[in-house]
Amino acid sequence: MTNTEPHERLALAFRHVQFEDLGIIEPLLRERGYRVQYVDLGIEAIDIEGVDDADLLIVLGGPIGVNDTDGYPLLHASKEAVAHRLRSGKPLLGICLGAQLIAEGLGAEVRPTGAVEIGYMPLDLTVAGLDSPLRPLDGLPVLHWHGDAFTIPAGASHLASTPEFPNQAFSTDTVLALQFHLEADHRTIGRWLIGHAHELHHNGIDPRIIREDARAYGPKLESAARAAITSWLDIVERSTPAA
């Protein structure tokens, strides 16, 4: 008897800290028939064969930088895995640290800025961004939580900016890199505020403001984020059909 059941896609996510998970993206992936699997970096080793087998690789954020390899040697394996994935041409989504690892893997510069951008602030899309899956996000406050910045890799499309961090997103045929946290779930923002309490205090940022902004902007942002990620998945799934 011939098996006619559809192929179950695998979404593999590299996670650096527990509370920076797939957030609102995870239910969307499950709705589209993906099986979601996390690799908790610093605890679990990266299996390159698993990276190859994944239909989608997502590299999430974390409070370390791409240049912190002396203190966090796990970054060596992350960089190798991202470079391997880039060579494969298979779909790859990077968020914050993940986007920075992709930028470095494509030959761009990633460096500390000496400043931070933390909280909900509007995103401005470039001309290319307005013609991209990110279009629903134009002008919307999104969650920023970064201090490092990347340049746009050669050959990539520059999609979004803010006044302080002009390089907020870029894409290639099967890659989407986001400096900001499109995945963050406004309903669980309290985990972020607790997990990053020291950083907030050090930078004089009131967690109450972020909490209130999450309530105010979260529902509309979630709808726009789902639309953006859905549009991107539609594109990359057409270019890389399931086996």
Catalytic residue among 20, 26, 117, 183: 183
**Amino acid type, 79:** K
CA dist 219 and 132 (Å) reads: 22
Q: Is 84 a catalytic residue?
A: no
Which ranges of the chain would DSSP assign to H, the alpha helix? 25-31, 48-53, 74-88, 97-105, 127-130, 189-195, 197-202, 207-239
Kind of pairing, strands 9-15 and 56-59? parallel
The pair of three-digit structure tokens given for residue 156, joined into one six-digit string: 């990539």
DSSP state of 154: T
Residue whose tokens read 């990077």? 94
Answer left, alpha or beta for residue 116, where phi above 0 means left and psi between -120 and 50 means alpha: beta
Q: Is 117 a catalytic residue?
A: no
CA dist 236 and 56 (Å) reads: 9
Catalytic residue among 96, 104, 117, 186: 96
Q: Is 31 a catalytic residue?
A: no
Catalytic residue among 181, 186, 196, 222: 181
Edge-to-edge strands, sheet with 175-178: 34-40, 9-15, 56-59, 92-95, 175-178, 169-171, 157-161, 124-125
Biggest CA-to-CA distance, the chain? 65
**Which amino acids are annotated catalytic?**
96, 181, 183
